[in-house]
Chain A
Amino acid sequence: MTVTKTETLPVRSGDDVVRVRQRVRALAIEIGLGLVDQTKIVTAASELARNTLDYGGGGDVRIEIVQAGMRKGLRLTFEDHGPGIADIEQAMTDRFTTGRGMGLGLGGAKRLSNEFHIESTPGSGTRVTIARWK
């Protein structure tokens, strides 16, 4: 798999979350994702960006266009250096929240993506990677 384009955006404010959504939409269109797939990856990005902001204390997202053979995809890596997640399985469970949320962000982002990977170390931060392929 090769990376054909990379950009990094900050996720430090509500306005940044909006910008991330817009940029993910633009790149999803660029690689030719259909409207429903665009909507899925933008929605997943919105969930993860909001988590980075609300729980991770801010961070950034790396947005990559990736290619495997003839297939193109969009890969997003959200990273923060916040408190981390002690129990990932619990965090992934629908309805589980430590905030005022609905507890759907992580599980939802996984369902809306073709690939999902989460790593977190309590005390040092969280990294969530998703990909959606054309």
Chain B
Amino acid sequence: MDRIPILKLGGVLIVTIQVDMHDRLALALEEDLTAMIARTGARGVLLEISALEIVDSFIGRMLVSIAAVSRVLDAETVVAGMRPAVAITLVELGLELTGIRTALNVERGMALIQARISEEDDGHGSDRDRHED
């Protein structure tokens, strides 16, 4: 069966979704990502979707579900590169990407995730910053 490759860069898993997804592929991706987060302790998942010409409720559900599972495993999901026409259409479709942050491109998406990782590490690491508020 075809599978979508997952790349690991630092603590972040990167997936470029290029093909027209169908059910089996979507399920396989979700499984693979879950296993890989658990195995590697990745803190972020970056889904690059600039090749997607549409996001319908099926793909939307997959994105939301990947984000939900990732969150349980302490990894944050960012969707990067959504085409403007797709974003406009999503709103009218009524789809809310609950729990998903979006970024203009991969670079900004990485920055979002890195910021979250270092913020959390600071928070857990010491009480240095606590007195500020």
Contacts and interface: CB of A to CB of B under 8 A. Distances in A.
Whether chains A and B associate is yes
A46 B59 CA distance: 11
B99 interface: no
- Tier of interface size on chain B: 20 to 34
Contacts of B60: 102, 104
A105 B57 contact: yes
Interface stretch (A17-25, A62-70, A71-79, A116-124): A17-25
Contacts, number: 68
A104 B54 contact: no
Contacts of A38: 85
B94 A111 contact: yes
Contact of A43 (B23, B24, B89): B89
A13 to B, nearest CB: 9
Interface of B: 20, 22-24, 53-58, 60-61, 83, 85-86, 88-89, 92-95
Interface of A: 14-15, 17-18, 21, 25, 35-36, 38-40, 42-43, 46-47, 50, 94, 101-102, 104-105, 107-108, 111-112
Given A25-B53, A47-B56, A111 B92 contact: yes
A112 B20 CA distance: 20
